[in-house]
């Protein structure tokens, strides 16, 4: 049977696997699986059990709608997860913690926490759980929190009043008057204790999760990251503290105003803490290193400083305490590494694609990874054996789809430096036929276009329309060393443009390249780049642009949720050196903009407020440049709803087609578009 090319509808039929959690004996994995319905315009998540030894996966939960973040108990007799359910006549207003036996049965709500449950970890005794919840710091006890929550929900006023420097994040206002505290929950009786009650401590206000803290192997202490400065900011520098749970006494483990710390994990014997450390006082772009705090010496040190790689959370100790497992990018891929502590050497043990999550227990390692030609898959890795896959959720659907070839190429970019370009070709690509070229420019800027499956900007769906897709890892991208990443600081747009243009020059030499049908598209910082290109690249070079959630005016961008980073990124506050900001701001070059542009933005985008997109669109209309606006009142920096995603892709392809892209009618027969 002939295979069909992938469409946005196919993309949303794929099942999405969540992070795996292994049972203590390494024999079972629990993970969430999310399915979406284009008809219902929503998704649902259930938990699945998978055997690492072989056998068919089994659905563990059936009644929930958003069951997620599962974690096996230390004894393997229970799985804890977070959900909002309707149980025993009580519907959860906030996410709660549930427990279910892995051999079947009904999930039970452990307690009703009025302020809800977020990231959590099991205590080693398997009877208690530590979790994060946003509470009113001046209210004492669960009953008082419940009353405050009830009163707040009943309020008729809609105004948000605050004196805080950090008051919203990504797509939501931070809970007004509330802060993130650590709690302990007794799973037998449902009693909850707020560990931070009556103290000055709180966790990060930027979506704190289970990487913000850890529990010692003996269950007597908790280590956590906190901002010691009174005024909390998104660029706050975090310290590490340890609380003795019996006495409540807290000791500072690591604090240096020049550094920020996070993601602490106790060693198997509790004598050391591994964590991430970044020397941000030196520069905002400094990478996170693996660091160790030693209980006997009462001191800490970065141990991966000589390894020119950014270390990502979570960290996981090997059982012998001689190595730490961690994820890190390298040249557009993300591998899982074992960092050997005695000789401070890193070895890749699971190669990407892109490794998204992992866990290890009893010598069994499981990793969730995807690649440019397939969504996430779970593989088991055991020493002495070949990795083997333990699920096939998407195989049947993918078997009927024709995928394009993706390859890694290199060009000479700015300063003569080698620059990586990922190329994805249409299925059945014929290099003798003229084919349109599309740049897909990544955001960040300090991220990377990688060998990964992307649901919002899927290169396979792009290529299936008939485009050769180029993704340039321009100067500033991650995974190519610190010097390359930091090279664009205080001069955004300059080197990146040279890299994209060098790629265009090189690709236009190919016999298949149609120089009249070259397009540039990008989101976030990639959106900044296409707006920048519109003011700097001569008209006619690109037939059209697509700017999704792009930065347009760096002065007006001060309305974003990360405004405290601006001076460090751009080189000055806008009131101290206006010209320094204008030199890097696309809006200052609007007088040269003439290339047709589709502008897309979401009203709930607080990272790049939608006024940026509206100002760009209005500017183009005022200049009588062909432009189209796609604005979502209910989406953030990303487009997350199935129907909205389909509309996004339809408008995206329709815009390019209108300007001669793939599927465009012959010249003189072009269809009008509303």
| Domain of residue 493, residue span | 402-658
CB atoms within 10 A of CB 255: 15
Position 73 in a domain? no
How large is the average pLDDT for residues 69-94? 94
Q: How many domains does the chain fold into?
A: 1
Q: Check: pTM over 0.75? Answer yes or no.
A: yes
How large is the average pLDDT for residues 438-450? 98
Q: How confident is the model at residue 1 (pLDDT cuts 50, 70, 90)?
A: low
- Cα Rg of the chain, angstroms: 26
Instruction: Please tell me the predicted confidence (pLDDT) of residue 252.
Output: 97
Tell me the pLDDT tens digit for each residue of 180-211.
Answer: 999 999 999 999 999 999 999 999 999 999 99
How large is the average pLDDT for residues 347-373? 97
How large is the average pLDDT for residues 108-122? 97
> What is the rounded CA–CA span in Å between residue 499 and residue 285?
20
Position 221 in a domain? no
How large is the average pLDDT for residues 91-98? 96
Instruction: Please tell me the predicted confidence (pLDDT) of residue 673.
Output: 45
pLDDT at residue 282 greater than cutoff 50: yes
Instruction: Please tell me the predicted confidence (pLDDT) of residue 384.
Output: 87
Instruction: Please tell me the predicted confidence (pLDDT) of residue 672.
Output: 41
pLDDT at residue 67 greater than cutoff 80: yes
How large is the average pLDDT for residues 609-626? 98
How large is the average pLDDT for residues 115-143? 97
Instruction: Please tell me the predicted confidence (pLDDT) of residue 666.
Output: 61
Position 205 in a domain? no
CB atoms within 10 A of CB 370: 22
Instruction: Please tell me the predicted confidence (pLDDT) of residue 104.
Output: 81
- Helix, strand, coil shares of the chain as percentages rounded to 5? 20, 35, 50
Which position has the token pair 């669109």?
Answer: 617
> What is the rounded CA–CA span in Å between residue 116 and residue 319?
33
> What is the rounded CA–CA span in Å between residue 24 and residue 642?
37
Instruction: Please tell me the predicted confidence (pLDDT) of residue 88.
Output: 78
Tell me the pLDDT tens digit for each residue of 454-491.
Answer: 999 999 999 999 999 999 999 999 999 999 999 999 99
How large is the average pLDDT for residues 594-622? 98
Q: What is the mean pLDDT of the chain?
A: 96
Position 326 in a domain? no
Percent over 70 (pLDDT), the chain: 99
Q: How confident is the model at residue 105 (pLDDT cuts 50, 70, 90)?
A: confident
Q: Going by C-beta distance under 8 Å and a sequence separation of 6 or more, which residues neighbour residue 206?
A: 166, 169, 234
Angle 213-219-220 from CA coordinates, rounded to 5°: 90
Sign of CA pseudo-dihedral 134, 131, 17, 109? negative
Instruction: Please tell me the predicted confidence (pLDDT) of residue 2.
Output: 82
Q: How confident is the model at residue 148 (pLDDT cuts 50, 70, 90)?
A: very high
| Backbone angle region of 143, left / alpha / beta, with phi > 0 → left and psi within -120 to 50 → alpha | alpha
Position 628 in a domain? yes
Angle 263-269-270 from CA coordinates, rounded to 5°: 45
Position 107 in a domain? no
| DSSP category for residue 482 | H
Q: How confident is the model at residue 667 (pLDDT cuts 50, 70, 90)?
A: low
Instruction: Please tell me the predicted confidence (pLDDT) of residue 665.
Output: 79
Instruction: Please tell me the predicted confidence (pLDDT) of residue 568.
Output: 96
Residue 85, token pair as written in the block:
């359910």
Q: Going by C-beta distance under 8 Å and a sequence separation of 6 or more, which residues neighbour residue 141?
A: none
Position 348 in a domain? no
Contact 540, 567 (CB under 8 A): no
Position 261 in a domain? no
Contact 222, 170 (CB under 8 A): no
Write the CATH number for 521: 3.40.50.1820
Which position has the token pair 């010249």?
Answer: 667
């Amino acid at each position: 049977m002939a295979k069909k090319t992938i469409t946005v509808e196919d993309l949303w039929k794929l099942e999405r696997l969540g992070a795996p959690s292994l049972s203590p004996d390494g024999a079972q994995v629990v993970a969430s699986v999310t399915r979406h319905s284009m008809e219902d315009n929503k998704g649902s998540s259930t938990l699945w059990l998978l055997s690492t030894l072989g056998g068919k996966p089994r659905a563990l939960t059936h009644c929930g709608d958003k069951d997620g973040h599962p974690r096996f108990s230390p004894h393997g007799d229970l799985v804890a997860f977070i959900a909002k359910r309707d149980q025993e006549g009580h519907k959860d207003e906030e996410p709660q913690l549930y427990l279910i036996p892995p051999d079947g049965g009904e999930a039970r709500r452990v307690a009703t926490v009025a302020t809800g449950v977020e990231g959590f970890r099991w205590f080693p005794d398997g009877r208690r759980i530590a979790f994060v919840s946003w509470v009113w710091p001046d209210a004492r006890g669960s009953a008082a929190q419940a009353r405050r929550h009830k009163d707040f929900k009943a309020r008729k006023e809609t105004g948000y009043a605050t004196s805080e420097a950090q008051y919203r994040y990504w797509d939501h206002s931070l809970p007004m008057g509330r802060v993130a505290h650590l709690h302990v929950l007794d799973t037998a009786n449902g009693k909850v204790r707020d560990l931070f009650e009556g103290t000055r401590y709180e966790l990060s206000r930027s979506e704190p999760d289970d990487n913000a803290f850890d529990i010692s192997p003996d269950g007597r202490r908790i280590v956590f990251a906190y901002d010691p400065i009174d005024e909390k900011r998104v660029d706050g520098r975090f310290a590490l503290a340890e609380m003795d749970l019996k006495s409540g006494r807290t000791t500072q483990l690591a604090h240096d105003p020049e550094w920020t710390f996070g993601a602490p994990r106790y060693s198997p014997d509790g004598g050391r803490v591994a964590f991430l450390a970044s020397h941000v006082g030196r520069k905002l772009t400094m990478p996170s290193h693996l660091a160790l705090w030693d209980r006997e010496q009462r001191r800490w040190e970065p141990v991966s400083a000589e390894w020119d790689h950014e270390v990502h959370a979570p960290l996981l100790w090997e059982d012998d305490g001689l190595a730490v497992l961690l994820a890190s990018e390298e040249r557009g891929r993300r591998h899982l590494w074992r960092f050997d502590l005695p000789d401070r050497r890193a070895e890749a043990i699971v190669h990407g694609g892109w490794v998204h999550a992992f866990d290890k227990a009893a010598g069994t390692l499981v990793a969730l990874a995807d690649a440019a030609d397939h969504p996430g898959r779970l593989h088991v890795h055991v020493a002495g054996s070949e990795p083997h896959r333990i699920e096939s959720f998407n195989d049947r659907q993918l078997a009927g789809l024709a995928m394009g070839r993706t390859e890694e190429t290199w060009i000479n970019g700015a300063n003569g430096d080698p620059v990586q370009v990922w190329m994805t070709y249409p299925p059945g690509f014929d290099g003798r036929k003229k084919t349109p070229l599309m740049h897909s420019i990544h955001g960040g800027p300090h991220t990377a276009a990688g060998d990964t499956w992307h649901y919002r900007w899927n290169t396979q769906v792009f290529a299936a329309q008939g485009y050769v897709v180029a993704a340039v890892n321009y100067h500033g991208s991650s995974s190519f060393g610190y010097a390359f990443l930091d090279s664009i600081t205080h001069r955004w747009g300059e080197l990146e443009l040279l890299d994209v243009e060098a790629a265009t020059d090189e690709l236009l030499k190919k016999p298949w390249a149609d120089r009249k049908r070259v397009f540039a598209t990008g989101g976030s910082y990639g959106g900044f780049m296409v707006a920048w290109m519109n003011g700097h690249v001569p008209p006619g070079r690109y037939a059209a642009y697509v700017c999704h959630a792009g930065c347009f005016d760096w002065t007006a961008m001060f309305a974003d949720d990360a405004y405290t980073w601006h001076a460090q990124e751009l080189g000055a506050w806008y009131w101290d050196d206006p010209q320094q900001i204008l030199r890097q701001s696309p809006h200052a070059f609007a007088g040269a903009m003439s290339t047709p542009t589709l502008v897309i933005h979401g009203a709930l985008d607080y990272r790049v407020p939608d006024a940026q997109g509206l100002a760009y669109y209005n500017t183009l209309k005022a200049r009588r440049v062909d432009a189209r606006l796609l604005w979502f009142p209910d989406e953030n920096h990303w487009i997350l709803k199935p129907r909205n995603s389909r509309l996004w892709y339809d408008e995206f392809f329709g815009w390019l087609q209108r300007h001669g892209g793939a599927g465009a009618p012959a010249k003189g027969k072009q269809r009008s578009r509303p």
